[in-house]
Amino acid sequence: MKMEKKSPLARVLAVVLTLALMLSLASCGNSGNAGNENANDESGVADTDAATQDAEEVENSAEETDAASDLAYVQDKGTLIVGITEFEPMDYQDDAGNWIGFDADMARAFAESLGVEPVFQIITDWDNKVFELKGRTVDVVWNGMTLTEEVLSSLECSRAYFNNAQVVVVPAASSAAYANPEATIEDLSAATFAVESGSTGQTQAEENNFNYTAVADQATALLEVASGTADAAIIDYLMARAMTGEGTSYADLTDTVVLSSEEYGVGFRKGSDMAEALNNFFHDAYQDGTMQALAETYGIADALIAQ
């Protein structure tokens, strides 16, 4: 069979049409991939938003649970973890290593009323007490805690149960230097102080521009004065009564200047229903004489606040 020859123009047109078709197909493929990528991007954003929303809901739910059922949480686990420091006459250990003191005894009785076991946990850095509560390392801070504005805003607190003051403790031999009330702050400005880190005593030192060193607790502050590494300590009046003067661990130390007055309370996680439960317990324990008897035992009955 005889075949016809194509003209040169026809061959050129055929090549052009073929190239145009190939480019068109390639463009469609890229458009589809781009569409898929956009779809994937949008899906990723949607997944991220959903995950963020889920996390926020879980966090909010946890906060609501903390606030609404703290009492149930403690009773379910069967222990009340009590955050304390070494602080006579409120929390300290006897010769057998048992925690005693007004606060320790009351915490033990409160735990018993809830049907749980008390566990005493030392808070090594008093500044971290709020974080210890939020992290559930402890369930309550019960350690002669001053009800400052910061404490009241950060914790759910009980009613005040003791009156207290911040006092200056010095060696008895030098106490006469602080006998004139009108000159006390000026006289104290030359002294070096030991104060508990994060305590109201440290606040007083800062407000009065005293030269001070922050130490682990009030017992250590007294030790610094007794050993001569500090001229004076600022501690709670109730502790000064229990640990200084004749017949005490620091017979050669005495309290002098009163810097401020304050009240003690017990702190729980913010929003906790445990505070109301403790207020009710305080009321009953005061009405039946338990609180008064314990305060007499530790020599601080005159500072107890009626419940």
> Which amino acid would we find at residue 8?
P
Phi and psi, residue 205, nearest 5° = -65, -40
Does a cis peptide bond (omega within 30 degrees of 0) precede residue 8? no
Query: What is the model's pLDDT at position 182?
Result: 59
For residues 222 and 235, the answer to whether their CB atoms sit within 8 Å is yes
Q: How confident is the model at residue 176 (pLDDT cuts 50, 70, 90)?
A: confident
Query: CA-CA distance, 242 to 261, in Å (whole number)?
Result: 18
pTM, full prediction: 0.72
> Which amino acid would we find at residue 100?
I
CATH fold of the domain at 70-163+264-303: D-Maltodextrin-Binding Protein; domain 2 (3.40.190)
- Contact residues for 269 (Cβ-Cβ < 8 A; gap 6+): 66, 67, 70, 133, 134, 139, 155, 156
Query: CA-CA distance, 307 to 287, in Å (whole number)?
Result: 8
> Can 70-163+264-303 and 164-263 be said to share one CATH topology?
yes
How far is residue 183 from each of residues 27, 75, 171, 176, measured CA to CA in Å? 92, 54, 18, 12
Domain boundaries, the chain: 70-163+264-303, 164-263
Query: What is the model's pLDDT at position 185?
Result: 78
Residue 32 structure tokens: 């589809």
pLDDT tens by residue, 72-120: 999 999 999 999 999 999 999 999 999 999 999 999 999 999 999 999 9
Query: What is the model's pLDDT at position 99?
Result: 98
CATH superfamily of 164-263: Periplasmic binding protein-like II (3.40.190.10)
CA 157 to chain centre: 12
Query: CA-CA distance, 13 to 99, in Å (whole number)?
Result: 102
